[in-house]
Amino acid sequence: MEPVDPIERRAASGPSGRFAAGTRRLTTAMRSGARVTARATANGSQRTGQAFRSFARRDGAGESGLARFIEMHTVQVGADAALTVSLAGTIFALPTDQARSAVALFLLLTMAPFVLLAPFVGPVLDRFRHGRRWAIGTTLAVRGFFCWVLAGAIVTDSPWVFPLALVCLVASRAYAVARASAIPRLLPAKMDLVTANSRIMITGLVGMGLGGALAAGVSRFGVEWSLRLAFATYIFATVLAIRLPAQVDTPVTDATPRIRPPLRSRPEERLRNLPNRVLHAIIIVCGARFLVAFLTLFLIFLTRENPLPGLSTAVVIGAAVAAAGVGNVLGSLLGNKRVAPPPTPTLVTLGIIGTVSTITAALFYALWSVLLVSFVGGVLTQLGKLCLDSIVQTEVPESRHSRVFAWIETTLQLAWVAGGAIAIVLPLEPRIGFGVAAAVMVLGFLIAVRTRVHGIRLQPAGTPPRLTEEPGVASDHRLGD
């Protein structure tokens, strides 16, 4: 070993040498910390993915193919969230800080996609029930393509932004209709329809959170980049849709031949001629949509003109939104039980609770009553829609699922618009506003009860009978009344 020069030893032990040694130790520690962090992140992501897949495949969903549908739907909701974040500053944003006339215009715009959904999209999807995977994939691919086009249109302030966004919204509603029609074909033997719909809703919330967070981060570089993120996510979801199990498509057999239903709905396919149980569920869920829209707009304007003592508008609205969110999550969890609650009694119970909570808010305008009606509205909307979907999937023949779901989605949106319209025309007095909402809820509940017993007797003489299952098509209800 060569001897070390005393001068070099003193230089190494001097200030510069100690600084270099400290820098090396710090660099080594940072590298070790980065490796530990990366390993922990990878392990955490792996455990999260395993927990998600375990949840999606539970109760036979992995064997039936429902788990693959759940994974595709989660990716799709993430793309929807990215698109929503991108359009947050456009004409599709709720103009709560503007005059009521601007809010009225927004309500009309929300109805625009449904002008095509009920009379056109639903019947077209019924025609493609033997190729439902490709129909679902098409709704995703269309949104992906137009997101890419939107990214360029927004940068240049093109007048095509609104039409392009409108096409995306129409395709989104078409996907919702096709999804509802496909779920019964993937239902495991150990699961009922309420649980299956609830599981899809819960995983959708996960996708919404992830997609919205990623889009919010990417949008810092420009809205066009969050739209390109939505494009990439939609394309990935399209591939997953095409690779869904073959049982998503209705097979061509003697019992289910390749038929071409007319694009125009026949009298027995209209809402008034649906089974009483379906009509009863629609009316109650319409009440839920009405209540949520009314609360959303009425509270925003009311808390500005007639605020609660000691509470700002932001605090009250934030608390109400949080209460509604908790109600949404609770509604999904209640539907995801191994033995889900029977749909019709659940809807009746929810209708009564929703009506009572609205009456309470009319009599006692306080923070606790606002939170109560917001929480109940969240539960009623989420769990009610799960029950409605399961009833329709059971009571309506498969060959008519898409058009019936399209009409239902349009009807529910009309209820939402009606709730918002009433909220912006009423005087900003708590007793008057919540009193009118309570009266509408009571009237709707009474109509629902009468419909459950007697139906809606509006069809003229000679009208074809109500919807029944097609000959030779088996109907596995697995659903109590």
**Burial grade of 435 (CB within 10 A; 0-12, 13-18, 19 or more):** middle
User: Do 245 and 61 touch, CB atoms closer than 8 A?
Assistant: no
From the centroid of its chain, how far is CA 102?
25
In the numeric block, the tokens 């949404």 are attached to 328
Of 379, 374, 323, 369, which Cα lies nearest the Cα of 346? 379
For the entire predicted model, the pTM comes to: 0.79
Amino acid (1-letter code) at residue 37: T
pLDDT in tens, 164-206: 888 888 899 889 988 988 898 898 887 888 888 888 988 998 9
Instruction: Tell me the two tokens of residue 3.
Output: 């001897």
pLDDT tens, position by position, for the chain (481 residues)?
555 555 455 545 555 666 666 666 666 766 666 565 556 555 555 677 778 788 888 888 888 899 999 999 999 999 999 998 888 766 555 555 556 666 777 777 777 777 767 677 777 777 777 788 999 999 999 999 999 999 988 888 888 888 888 888 889 988 998 898 889 889 888 788 888 888 898 899 899 999 999 999 998 898 899 999 999 999 999 999 999 998 888 776 655 556 555 555 555 456 667 888 999 999 999 999 999 999 988 988 888 888 888 888 888 888 998 999 999 989 888 887 766 678 889 999 999 999 999 999 999 889 999 999 999 999 999 999 999 999 998 888 887 888 888 888 889 989 999 999 999 898 888 899 999 999 999 999 999 988 888 766 544 444 444 454 443 333 444 444 4
User: What does the alpha-carbon distance between residue 199 and residue 361 come to, in Å, rounded to a whole number?
Assistant: 32
Q: How far is CA 397 from CA 101, 275, 464, 467, in A?
A: 42, 11, 15, 7
User: What does the alpha-carbon distance between residue 9 and residue 73 come to, in Å, rounded to a whole number?
Assistant: 67
User: What does the alpha-carbon distance between residue 155 and residue 166 come to, in Å, rounded to a whole number?
Assistant: 18
In the numeric block, the tokens 């209709």 are attached to 177
**What are the residues whose beta carbons fall under 8 Å from the beta carbon of 210, sequence distance 6 or more?**
78, 81
Q: How far is CA 61 from CA 183, 201, 383, in A?
A: 11, 15, 21
Q: Please name each of the domains of the chain with its CATH number.
A: 65-249 (1.20.1250.20), 266-457 (1.20.1250.20)
From the centroid of its chain, how far is CA 76?
11
Instruction: Tell me the two tokens of residue 461.
Output: 């003489």
In the numeric block, the tokens 């060959």 are attached to 399
Q: How far is CA 241 from CA 135, 176, 418, in A?
A: 9, 13, 35
Of 95, 76, 92, which Cα lies nearest the Cα of 84? 92
CA Rg, the chain, in Å? 27
pLDDT in tens, 213-242: 999 999 889 889 999 999 999 999 999 999
Of 331, 326, 329, 365, which Cα lies nearest the Cα of 346? 331
Amino acid (1-letter code) at residue 197: N
Of 467, 415, 86, which Cα lies nearest the Cα of 272? 467
